[in-house]
Amino acid sequence: MKVLKIGFIMSLFMGMLYAEEIKAGVVLPLSGAVAGFGQSGLRGLEIMQEIMPTNEKGDSLKMIILDNKSEKLESANAIRRLIASDKVEVVFGPMTTGNALAMIKTVEDSKTPLIAAVATGDRVTKGKKFVTRVAFRDSFQGTIAANFSFKDLNAKNAAILFDSGSDYSIGLAKSFEDKFKELGGKIVIKSEFKANTKDFKAQLSSIKASNPDVLFIPIYYNEAALIMLQYKQLGLKFHVVGADGVASDHTFFDIAKDATENVMAIDFYSTNSEQTELGKKFIKAYEDKYKESVSSFSIMFADAYLLAMKAIAECPRGDKVCINDKIRNQENFEGVSGVFSLKDGEATRSAVFNKVVNGKLEYFLTVEP
């Protein structure tokens, strides 16, 4: 018995001896146009770190957090600093496709793993060796939006309202249009705007005149909220289907209020779907701390944290190439969001449609990949 106790103590001591504090970069929009997204991502990392401060080897993460101000140039500057000066071994972020694209050359050249958890543009991961996405990609999202509109909403005529300066919005609009036409539907109008537009009545009036059955809005929450307010003011009645950026921040509901009713929004996850034990634990910790429902972006970054910690435990100290490979290739990984797989940095995972009912998102259906 004494020998066993000594052995146990020695194993604990050896674990502590070889445990490391690993530097991890975090590049998120904590100010600027999509600051709400960045705050959600950061909360996901921080809550998950509180739940699981160390991995099985006892390693912990020292997170170096930089604000990219929702801008491409700031994103590019942040990743250069993290790699050249701070010597990080893994990077979390950013939130959006455009900002991720601005960081990728530095990441690839330095062979530093980047977990761009929710940057859904196809180009973010296509042909890249050191970039991993936890969410699904836009070509999948646009396709399921078209399928849902045509088959579930019985829409035969669709309108698209998109941000012509956003890689994310342009890519989603194209994938929706291609699939909707393939199904036999008609795109009756494509209307565009520039970021920070406040008045959408001209676009919405033109859309109304084209008499669509459904409007697809592959945009972010700030503009989506204003569009829905003006949609209601104009007395419009056609279905509205939004991409993952529409209803994923409380700002959408705070601004648009009851004008959000019946909007259908694609998401990575729903708290109303079946949860893993870790998912239940995360939701409780999040709601206890922030007194609000969990954002799916927080969930995606929690899973990014888990992937990084698992990879670090399985690799020699300082081996970024090994860490990258372990992050990018996982079979049936059980995270906060459920079970999913990764191959060469691309996630295979289901999507959900949520419906706004009485100002809250309600789970509607799941779409398998």
CATH of the domain at 150: 3.40.50.2300
Q: Is residue 194, in this structure, part of any structural domain at all?
A: yes
DSSP 34-59: THHHHHHHHHHHHHHHHH--S-TT--
**Total number of domains constituting the chain:** 2
Cβ(251)–Cβ(225) below 8 Å: yes
Identify the residue with better confidence: 13 or 77: 77
Q: Are the C-beta atoms of residues 189 and 207 closer than 8 Å to each other?
A: yes
Q: Beta partners for 62?
A: 23
Do 48 and 65 reside in the same domain of the chain? Answer: yes
307-321 average pLDDT score? 96
Q: What is the 3-state secondary structure (H, E, C) of 233-269?
A: HCCCCCEEEECCCCCCCHHHHHHHHHHHCCCEEEECC
Q: Which strand ranges, in their side-by-side order, compose the sheet holding 330-334?
A: 330-334, 339-343, 346-348
**Four-residue CA torsion sign, 257, 170, 368, 182:** positive
Check whether 15 has a pLDDT greater than 90.
no
In 3D space, the residue among 253, 66, 216, 198 whose CA is nearest the CA of residue 138 turns out to be 216
Whether 70 and 118 map to the same domain: the answer is: yes
Residues 153 and 279 in one domain: no
Give the domain extent around 113.
Answer: 2-136+274-349
Query: 198 and 73, same structural domain?
Result: no
The answer, yes or no, to whether the previous bond of 94 is cis (omega within 30 of 0) is yes
Is the pLDDT at 103 greater than 60? The verdict is: yes
State whether 98 and 127 are in the same domain.
yes
Instruction: State yes or no: pLDDT of 1 exceeds 70.
Output: no
Task: Categorize the per-residue pLDDT at 355 as very low, low, confident or very high, splitting at 50, 70 and 90.
Answer: very high
- 62: pLDDT strictly greater than 80: yes
Residues 287 and 259 in one domain: no
| Mean pLDDT, residues 320-346 taken together | 96
Could you tell me the two tokens for 227? 């569009």
Whether 366 is in a domain gets the answer no
Do 229 and 318 belong to one domain?
no
Contact 12, 54 (CB under 8 A): no
280 found inside a domain: yes
3-class state of residue 351 by DSSP: strand
- What DSSP assignment string belongs to 79-109? HHHHHHTS--SEEE--SSHHHHHHHHHHHHH
Mean pLDDT of 236-265: 96
Pairing state between β 330-334 and 264-267: unpaired
Same domain, 149 and 256: yes
- Of 240, 267, 294, the residue that ends a domain is 267
pTM above 0.85, yes or no: yes
Determine, yes or no, domain membership for 368.
no
| 3-class SS of residue 114 | strand
Distance in angstroms (rounded) separating the CA atoms of residues 96 and 124 = 10
Confidence band, pLDDT 50/70/90 cuts, at residue 18? low
**Helix 97-110 × helix 167-182 angle, to 10°:** 110
Q: Is there a domain that residue 357 lies in?
A: no
CA 259 to chain centre: 24
What per-residue confidence (pLDDT) applies to 11?
Answer: 43
Specify if 367 maps to a domain. no
- pLDDT for the residue numbered 368: 86
Please report which confidence band the pLDDT of residue 9 belongs to, taking 50, 70 and 90 as the band edges.
very low
Nearest to residue 111, comparing CAs of 322, 301, 345? 322
- Euclidean distance between CA atoms 350 and 72, whole angstroms: 29
DSSP summary character for residue 216: E
